[in-house]
Amino acid sequence: MKSSKLFYLLVGASAVVGCKTKNITTAEVKKERPNIIFIMSDDHAYQAISAYDTTLIQTPNIDRIAKEGMLFINATVTNSICAPSRAVILTGKHSHINGKIDNLSHFDTTNVTFPQILQKAGYQTAMFGKLHFGNNPKGFDEFKILPGQGDYYNPKFITQKGDTIIEGYVTDITTDLTLDWMKHRRDPNKPFMLMYLHKAPHRAWLPSEKYYKEFTQKTFPLPETLFDDYKTRGIAAKSAEMGILKHMSLINDNKLTPATVKELNIEQWSQLGESLYTLNAKQRAKWDAVYGPINEDFKKRYPTMNDSTLTVWKYQRYLQDYLGTIASVDENVGRVLDYLDEEKLADNTIVVYTSDQGFYLGEHGWFDKRFMYNESFKTPLLIKWPNQIKPGITEDEMVQNLDFAQTFLEIAGVTAPKDMQGESLVPLLTGNKAVWDRDAVYYHYYEYPAEHAVKRHYGIATKEYKIIHFYHDVNEWELYDRLNDPKEVNNVINDPKYAQVVTEMKQKLQETRKKYKDSEELDRKYIESYN
């Protein structure tokens, strides 16, 4: 029996065709449907979760999700940038279909989202934290969201009753709001779908007090490709403006003060005042007590630094703050998991942990995301679903954030709209892997010319290979052997040994673009609309 039929048996008369929902007749049937908690952080690199890699940080609470469920090691995104990724997740459609191609364009609110469908199907819905776009998300009974990027300290939240400022640290507050809803406003007679969305670890990486005290004392191993020279690649990698040495701000990112860089006669752009303006006097004093000595130490070191030693110093400062924000995320995920256990909700709740994309932690000398290279293309994905997922499973199939909408709808016993483009993960989650037939995933990045100067490109990846086409003001191709070159330092597009692979991958790329209704015509359309 296919898994979708199994869920229809559980749900009975709750099937939905498109967005038309039949009434569910009994509370008992409603209770059969699993609760869904979707946890997403912002820019959380998979290599900064110890279930994937213990080199940089321990994340025991996030790891619990994998230990009690499934760890996906080939989970990817369709467009590695914040707001478009969220639009893909909500709609189950690629960026060129839902229209949210970059952080700058507006989200078309006529798009139907999976929370709207679940709400109509009888789910109680709530969202807390960072949505990134839109001030009135559809399909939610209650929401408290950050405006835009939001603030780390004493953040403002948008609510159905108006804006409010809450004193404290954003990761703790987002969790407080989430737990408060579950404790006091959750309807026990309905299944719920809860989106618990963290701002961290988004730039400019401002940790809570206890973690910046701890993490500023740590030293981290250097990535093997920190000093990558991109010698086999074309213009795109060489011209991107996301290098730790040249493009990471000593002020905004590394937390030197404007006075320090002025004293040392270093030219730097600064937004640090904007990042820290929400601190009250007591909070600022604690901040200065830790970061003040870092400034003084840098003044002593800088006169003897060269490009290499400055890169290493900036990398260490970057990792200290970035990972410090993740420590808070992990702590707070633990609070939510503990609550589910204590209230005996865990057995009927599917918990998903992911990020809106991956992130570079010094690999290839970079920070940020955007490229189709692994560190930003791949995203963490950990799912637990008691009595359905066998605990401790690692899954290597090619899955995407495109698949979440259909997955949640199938879990709820709801038929997904036909225009959604993903595939439900339920067969993989429930051990029915034989029906999974995807062998390649599609990627398309649009935000150029813009911040970080990463050129437009599209491509596909299989388990074995990845082919990328950079276009617009360049015409460059790259091919990577994912099994023999996992760090992606050797572009083999012109290697005669791979000539047949190139031919096959280019053909497969064209077929995949056609499958997902992307085209050169749409490429031109989005270039023209950008100007």
Residue 46 has pLDDT above 80, yes or no: yes
Using CA atoms, how far residue 115 sits from 21, 111, 124, 508, in Å, is 14, 11, 9, 33
Spatial neighbors of 282 by CB under 8 A, at least 6 apart, are: none
The per-residue DSSP string of 462-494 comes to -SSEEEEEE-SS--EEEEEETTT-TT-----TT
- Is residue 72 domain-shared with residue 87, that is, in the same domain? yes
Domain end call among 412, 439, 466 = 439
Which CATH number does the domain housing residue 329 bear? 3.40.720.10
Determine the residue type at 180. D
Residue 269 has pLDDT above 90, yes or no: no
pTM: 0.94
Average pLDDT of every residue of the chain: 93
- Tens digits of per-residue pLDDT, 454-490? 999 999 999 999 999 999 999 999 999 999 999 999 9
The per-residue pLDDT for 212 is 98
**Secondary structure (3-state) at 74:** coil
- Is residue 61 domain-shared with residue 135, that is, in the same domain? yes
Mean pLDDT of 267-286: 78
- Tens digits of per-residue pLDDT, 302-343? 999 999 999 999 999 999 999 999 999 999 999 999 999 999
Joined tokens for residue 175: 């969790």
- Is residue 335 domain-shared with residue 275, that is, in the same domain? no
In a domain, 409, yes or no: yes
The per-residue pLDDT for 17 is 37
User: For the chain, what is the domain count?
Assistant: 2
Closest CA to 370 of 284, 241, 501, 462: 241
Joined tokens for residue 480: 């990577």
User: E strand or H helix at 156, and its extent?
Assistant: strand 156-159
- Is residue 388 domain-shared with residue 429, that is, in the same domain? yes
Provide the strand spans (E) within 15-56: 16-17, 20-21, 35-41
The per-residue pLDDT for 25 is 40
Question: How far apart are alpha carbons 145 and 135 in whole angstroms?
Answer: 8
- Within 10 angstroms of residue 189's Cβ, the number of other Cβ atoms is 11
Mean pLDDT of 228-242: 97
Query: HEC profile for 109-122?
Result: CCCCCHHHHHHHCC
- Is residue 235 domain-shared with residue 181, that is, in the same domain? no
- Is residue 110 domain-shared with residue 130, that is, in the same domain? yes
In a domain, 22, yes or no: no
In a domain, 514, yes or no: no
Name the percent of the chain lying above pLDDT 70: 92
> Predicted confidence band at 32 (pLDDT cuts at 50, 70, 90)?
confident
Residue 142 has pLDDT above 60, yes or no: yes
- Is residue 312 domain-shared with residue 327, that is, in the same domain? no
Task: Indicate if the alpha-carbon torsion angle 74, 78, 80, 86 is positive or negative.
Answer: negative
Closest CA to 284 of 151, 155, 153: 153
Give the angle subtended at the CA of 478 by the CAs of 472 and 481, to the nearest 5°. Answer: 155
Task: Indicate if the alpha-carbon torsion angle 83, 89, 90, 93 is positive or negative.
Answer: positive
- Tens digits of per-residue pLDDT, 153-169? 999 999 999 999 999 99
Determine the residue type at 128. F
In a domain, 526, yes or no: no
The per-residue pLDDT for 270 is 58
String of b and e for 211-249 (b: at least 16 CB within 10 Å)? bbebbbeeebeebebbebebebbbebbeebebbbeebbb
Joined tokens for residue 377: 């293309």
Given a contact cutoff of 8 angstroms between Cβ atoms, the answer to whether 352 and 114 are in contact is: no
Question: How far apart are alpha carbons 365 and 308 in whole angstroms?
Answer: 11
- Is residue 155 domain-shared with residue 225, that is, in the same domain? no
Domain end call among 316, 345, 380 = 316
| Alpha helices per DSSP H over 368-519 | 374-377, 404-411, 426-429, 499-515
Domain range for residue 270? Answer: 214-316
The per-residue pLDDT for 272 is 52
- Is residue 249 domain-shared with residue 297, that is, in the same domain? yes
The per-residue pLDDT for 267 is 78
Evaluate the omega torsion of the peptide bond into residue 496 and state whether it is cis, within 30 degrees of 0: no
The per-residue pLDDT for 276 is 80
- Tens digits of per-residue pLDDT, 57-99? 999 999 999 999 999 999 999 999 999 999 999 999 999 999 9
Domain end call among 439, 467, 494 = 439
- Is residue 46 domain-shared with residue 157, that is, in the same domain? yes
Residue 13 has pLDDT above 50, yes or no: no
What DSSP designation does 153 have?
A: B
Question: How far apart are alpha carbons 438 and 69 in whole angstroms?
Answer: 22
The per-residue pLDDT for 275 is 67
In a domain, 117, yes or no: yes
Question: How far apart are alpha carbons 85 and 403 in whole angstroms?
Answer: 12
In a domain, 410, yes or no: yes
Q: Beta strand pairing status for 142-145 and 124-129?
A: parallel
- Is residue 178 domain-shared with residue 67, that is, in the same domain? yes
Radius of gyration of the chain (CA): 23
Residue 277 has pLDDT above 90, yes or no: no
What DSSP designation does 452 have?
A: T
The per-residue pLDDT for 271 is 56
- Within 10 angstroms of residue 464's Cβ, the number of other Cβ atoms is 14
- Tens digits of per-residue pLDDT, 415-427? 999 999 999 999 9
- Is residue 297 domain-shared with residue 364, that is, in the same domain? no
The per-residue pLDDT for 183 is 98
In a domain, 179, yes or no: yes
What number of residues does the chain have? Answer: 531
Residue 8 has pLDDT above 60, yes or no: no
In a domain, 449, yes or no: no
